[in-house]
Every structure is written in structure tokens, then in C-alpha cells.
Structure 1
Amino acid sequence: MSKPLPEAWQSQYEVIKNLNREWVTIDDNNRYVPYIDKSMAEVPVVGVILEVSRYSSNKLLVCTPANSAVLIEKKISSYHQEEACVLLDVDSLKTVYQKDKILISVFQSKKKFENVGIWAVQSKTTSALHSANLSYKRDISILQDFFTSAILTLLIFYAVLINQYPRIYKNLYSLTRVFSFKVREDNSRIRLINEAHIMFLIQHCFLVAFLFIMLVSTTDLIQVEVPYLDFQPTTYVRYMLLWGQVSLLVLAAIWLKYIIVMLFGTLFKLRQLRVLYMLDYMRMSLIYSAFLFVLLIIIFAGIGYYNNYYFNLIIYLFILLASLRVIVLYFRLFRSASFRNIYLFSYICVAEVIPLLIGLEILVI
């Protein structure tokens, strides 16, 4: 929507940002989604998620039709029986609520949203004082800076690996090998631990850590409390440090999984399948994480990170892909096993199902 600033305010203020194009509303699942039309608003509420640091030293002008309420962080700030406009100081909001993002919304029982307007404005007097030497402060978002740096690093990593190990890259990222129920490798010729596979594993750890940090920072489904790790960094440097720390934890978890797989493979007398399982597991993990990486870039850079609904979908998609991996691995190993019994099912439970359930219990609320 491109609703103009009311004439009564045009002589005093100028628009910094028309926020009517960034409205969110509540759908039938009680989730905040981008507002497109009235049919989407199951609850008669529209608003914006205000990034307060971006509009520091400015004002927020909210105009409403009659019988409307202005809400701040889901609590009524004011109610107006007549058509009215409310001017909010952005810096005061940050001081009171101690948040980087604040939800400003309007409740209108009759859904007369065409008469609602929200703008970030600044005083024309203040603007005139600086007109001779006007400078704009770059919109600083620590998460955006980390996002940009991380994807550039990961893309460089991808480019180096593709050029350095082209044949292994084609083997590991083969969709036909991933989704086929047939075993295509000769078990005697597979070497899991070599230079190329370790390099792909390191890149994979950085990628998984990046995905995890971004989802923790943008969704409300994951709650993490790990000693000595701060999952709410306040500076760019701390984000990069957290990335390195989480990458090390992911690497340790994968090596632990490798040890468990080898031990239980011996215990269940599935020695021939241990290496095949780890190779297929690595293939699927690399392809799934690459797919989620592309999807995250599209959502964060394209749609915007103000709405966690789309990031929640990535988590559900990860669960779906992990479940699919369990099914594919079981049937693939089942066909290649020299005997078919409960050992194979127990092996899959130990290697895949139990770690997945533990992860969901600990991380996803």
C-alpha cells in the first residue's frame, strides 16, 4: 500500500520510510504473515515489525480510523473512538522495551485497513538544519553482516572444492545415487577418510553451523542453551566466533556418530554395511544442507527476515528430509544385506532415529 502522509502532518514531518508496504497480520494458525488483503487477516490486526536501530532518532507516525486501538508488543497503548494519529518516539520505544525489533500494530474490528497508515518520519526542522551537509548512516544489522560474510565464505569454499576435487564432487552430490535404493559402490574400494572427504566434511560443518545459527536467530521454534556459547551475539565478531564454535561442535558430533556406527556395525555383524552407510549418510547430508542453504538465502535476502514463519518451514523441511533419509538408508541397506533380520532395524535406530528424536526433544519446542 502507498497511502500518503496526511496533509496535517506534511508541514511538520517528512517521510523517511513508508511502512505500509511491510505490514504483517495474523493468519488462521495464529502466525504473523505478510499482509496482502483482508482475507488473510483472521484477527483484525495489521502492523509492522519495527527495527528500532534502523530508525534511531526518528519518529513513528501511526494513523487509524475510528474505533481502533494501537498496540505495542501486543499490548494496547491507546484507543481512539475517532479518527486519529499517534506519534511515537523510536528511541523511547527502544529504551522502554529493550528490544531490537518491536511489533507495532493496529486493531480495527471492522478491518478498515485502507484507513490505516504507518510511516517512519523525521521533523522538517531537524532535516533543514542538516541539509547543507547531509549524510546518511548505513543501516547496520549485525545479523545481516554475518549472513553476508558467511554465505560469501561458504560459496568460496564450494568453488575451491569443485575445482580441486571435481570427480569426488560429482560423486558426493549425485542425486541419482542419493535417491536410489540400489547400492552402486564397491565396498572394498571405498575410502571414507581421505583428504578430499575431510575437506568436504569441514565445509559441511561450517554450513550446518551457519544454518543452525541463522535459524536460532530468526525462528521461535528453537531454544538453545549451551554452556560457554552465546546464541544471542551483540556484535559481528561474536557472531563469527559463535560460528567457529558451533562448527567444531558439529564436527565432533559427526565423528562421534562415525565411531558409534562402526562400533554398532561390528556388534550387529554388519561390517560390510558400515562404510556404505556412512558414505550414503554423508551424501544425503551434503545435498540436503546445500538445498536448505539455497532456500535460506532466498528467504532471508528475498522475502525478508522479519517474519519467522518461513524460517519455521525450513525446520519442518529439515525434519522431513531427515525422516526421508532414514527410510532410504534402511531400504538400501536392507537390499544389500546378506541377511535380513532385526539387527539392521536396530542399527538404523541407533544411527539415525534415536539421534533425530533426541535432537528434536532438545532443540525444537
Structure 2
Amino acid sequence: MRFYPLLLLLVITALFSTNEAIAKVDDKISPPADFFPIYDYQNDWLVYNSHYKNYVPYSQGVNESARSVSLSIDLLKNRRYFLLIKTEAEGYLFLNGALQQRLPSEEWLKLNIDSLFRSFKSEELLLTVYGSSGISGKKVLLCNQKQKNAAGIVHHSASTLINIKPIPFSQFGNFAVMAMLIILILNAWIFNLNPLSFVRLINPLEYFNNNPREQLSKINKPYSNSIIFFVLIDAMLMAFLLLFFSTNDLNLFSVITILTEQTNTFQYFLDFLLLSGIFFVLIYGKFVLMSVVGNMLNLDKLVDTLFLKIIQSAYFFYAALFLIVFMLGFNHTSWFIPLKPYILFPFLFFYIGRFISLYVVTKPSASFINLYLFSYLCVIEIIPLIIGIKFAL
């Protein structure tokens, strides 16, 4: 009986010693907190055997002096996982025989297996660690990265409350909604002011109507109320697109020099009104140019018709771009970035197409070619296009 207390003391001491050893080992091999270990490659080390001219399993009693040890990693099987490498002494990492980087001591190196698979384009990878002798102090783990919001998901799933938060909109997004409402209100205003005229203005078939007796210029003049508001809508559509470009670091016409530096909704709206006014003046400035050149070439009867067709086509084109930007801007925030180098091509194709279509729909049917009309369209369409492209860049 007197041996029982001594035996009990030995058991308790052994348990504490075992727990302490396990804790030290776990602390030694445990990966960072944001990774969960899947597999430990400690028993899979390989060394190169010059006799067999191949890699053979590492033997503890035979290969302890080997400074270069390797692992065969199955990339295809372990996709979506990470390799974590750690060495007690400084070493070097080789992948498929090529030196990749230095391995600092006591630091975990994280390698994404998906990235390795894409880079090496092979199902297996030979990973080699060169440094201290043997495999002591060398650790390679296969791990899964924990989801950062996993704790939050568990916490919220236990609650019976439904936590619904509104989608945050950008300041430009808030302004885009305001611009959309203003443009819709102006469209509704023109429709109430003159329904028949508005329906014909937004009808694409009316643009290609070349019957002299049915032209819009017979019932609408460029300075009538309906046309003035229609030109204002065109100016607002152009202003919105130019403001969108400048917001996305595309400074056309050096417009950023006249815009405010703040980026809140109110400042966007003020810049929008400023640009709309500038485009409104430019459109009617073009009408004045058309009238002057038309009188010089005895084409004054075509000025009103051509002007209405010009603002019609601008409405179709810029309204389509406005809707595309408006829809994609809320659903795909980065859609515009790869298109920046090609952004002027749609405008170039549009203005060249409008030049050709204006000549076709206004040319007298009896003549094969009208040099006066061609020259007139070059002055009012092609020359402004060339100047615009030069200053836009």
C-alpha cells in the first residue's frame, strides 16, 4: 500500500510531461491562425540517390547529412489548397529544379496551389528545400484557408433576427439617378407640349424619311419650344457621359480643369448643369454655322432639315450610351477599365455614319452626286469631328 502514493505521483508527472511535450510539438507545427491543416508531409520527404539516379524515400539513419530534401506535390488533386513551408534555419526553395526564393528562418511561406498549377501547367510538382542537414526543422503542410467571415456567419445563423442592410451607392450613382429623373421629366414635358412632334422626333424611321413634303422642319423650327427642350436633352446626355469619363480618370477635352474638386452628389450635379449649358450653346452654335455656310452655298432650305436630323441622331446615340452606362455602372463596377483605350471608336463610327446617312437622305433623288451638299456636310460634320478628336486627346 505504501507504494501507491509513489506510483500515483509518477503517473501524474508522466501525464504533465506528455501534455507539455505535445503542446510544444503542436506549437511548433501549427500553421498561422487563418489556415487549417489538412496534411503533414513530414513522412513524405525524398532525397536524390545518385546510384539509382532517381528520388528515393528519406531514411532517418542514412540521409541525415543530406542538405537537399524534396517532396512530390500532387497539384491537380490538391487544388484550392495552400502549401505552407517553414524552416528553423535559413534555406532556399526550388520548384521543379529552379530556384524560386530564399526561405527566412522561422517564417511561414504560403504558396497557392491553384497559382502553381497555372504557372507550371503540370499535375505534379517537385518541391525542394535546400538548407540545414536532414529534415529536422523543415515543415511543409497542406492547408485550407479559413473564410474570414466564417465566424460572422455562424454568429448570425444562431440569431432569429433578419439583418438586411441597403446596398451602398456611390456619390456618382446617386447623381446618375437624379440625372435620369431630370431627363425623363424633360421627355415627358416635350410629349405633353407637342405629342405628335415628340413621337416623330424619337422615331428612327423619321430620320431616314427623305420626302420633302413630310419633313419635321415643316412643323418644327430649330427655335421652337419642343426643339429647344429636345436640344437640352441632347446636351444633358452628352454632359452626363463626359462627367462619367472624367470620374473614371478619362480626361477628355481637359474637362477636369473646369470641374469642381469635390466628389459629392451636389457637386456632380453642379458640374452636370455647367457641362449641359456648354453643350447647349455649342449645339446652337453649330446651327448658326450651318446657317452661314448654307447661305453661302445656296443650301439655306436644307439647314432646318439637317439640323433636326442631327439632333435626332444625337438623341438616339447618346441615349443608348446613357442607358448602357447607367445599367452597367450599378451591376459591373469595373466594366469600363478595359475599354478606356477604345472609347473614342464608337464616337468616330457614329459621326462618320451620320455624315454618310445625312448625305443619302437629303440628296435630291434626280442627281447622282451633289458637290455643294457634300462640301456643306464636310464643313459641318467632318471638320468639327477632326477638331474634336484632336482636342479630346
Shorter-chain TM-score bucket reads 0.5 to 0.7
Greater mean alpha carbon deviation, residues 324-333 or residues 251-260? 324-333
Could you list the per-position Cα deviations for residues 293-347 of structure 1 after superposition, in whole angstroms to 9, with x for gaps in the alignment?
2222232123334542356666432322221111101122222698954322221
Q: Are the aligned partners of 1:216 and 1:231 in contact in 2 as well (CA < 8 Å)? A: no
Matched, 1:352 2:381: yes
Gaps of 5+ in 1: 1-5, 12-62, 68-78, 87-104, 129-133
8 Å contact from structure 2 (residues 191, 198) kept in 1? yes
| Alpha-carbon distance change, 360 to 124 in structure 1, aligned in 2, over 3 angstroms | same
SS in 2 for 1:292: helix
Aligned residue for 1:147? 176
Shift of 1:284: 1.0
The answer (yes or no) to whether the contact 1:218–1:311 under 8 Å persists in 2 is no
List aligned pairs for 1:248-267, cutoff 5 A. Answer: 248-267=277-296
Write out per-residue CA displacement over residues 58-87 of structure 1, whole angstroms, 9 at most, x where no aligned residue: xxxxx97799xxxxxxxxxxx89885289x
Tell me the equivalent position of 2:185.
156
Unaligned ranges ≥5, structure 2: 1-30, 37-80, 86-100, 123-141, 156-162
1:109 matched to 2:119:
yes
Q: Letter of the aligned partner of 1:353 in structure 2?
A: I
Counterpart contact for 1:205–1:247, Cα < 8 Å:
yes
SS at match of 2:252: coil
User: 1:338 & 1:123 partners in 2: Cα distance?
Assistant: 76
Given that 2:234 and 2:311 are in contact with CA atoms closer than 8 Å, whether structure 1 keeps it comes out as no
Cα distance change, pair 315–182 in 1 and its aligned pair in 2 (3 A)? farther
Paired residues for 1:265-276 under 5 Å? 265-276=294-305
2: distance between equivalents of 1:110 and 1:188?
A: 71
2:321 counterpart letter in structure 1: L
- Distance in 2 (CA, whole Å) between partners of 1:119 and 1:230 is 46
Partner of 1:46: none
Partner of 1:84: 110
Distance change (3 Å), C-alpha of 1:180 and 1:135: closer
In structure 2, the residue matched to 1:37 is: none
Q: Deviations over 1:167-226 (max 9, x none)?
A: 111111111122455554176554221111111122221121112211332364x43424
Q: 2: CA distance between counterparts of 1:211 and 1:163?
A: 27
Deviations 1:112-151 (A, max 9, x none): 9xx9x999958979xx9xxxxx998974522222222222
Inter-CA distance 124–205: structure 2 relative to 1 (3 Å threshold): same
Partner of 2:236: 206
* Residues 299 and 337 of structure 1, relative CA distance in 2, 3 Å threshold: farther
1:309 and 2:334 correspond: no
Matched with 1:277 is: 306
Structure 2 counterpart of 1:203, which letter? I
Cα pair 2:207 2:309 within 8 Å, conserved = yes
Partner residue, 2:10: none
Which residue in 1 is equivalent to 2:34? 9
Deviations 1:273-309 (A, max 9, x none): 1111111111111122222222222321233345423
Instruction: Supply the AA of the counterpart residue of 1:281.
Output: I
Does 1:216 find its partner at 2:246?
Answer: yes
Cα distance change of structure 1 residues 122 and 204 upon mapping to structure 2, 3 Å threshold:
same
* Matched-pair contact (CA < 8 Å) for 2:208–2:361: no
**TM-score normalised by the chain length of structure 1:** 0.61
1:297 aligns with 2:322: no
CA–CA distance in 2 between the matches of 1:118 and 1:300?
A: 32
Matched, 1:192 2:218: no
Aligned length: 274
Answer whether contact 2:241 2:322 (CA < 8 A) is retained: yes
Structure 1 pair 296–227 and aligned structure 2 pair: CA distance change class (3 A) = closer
Higher relative contact order (CA 8 A, sep 6+): 1
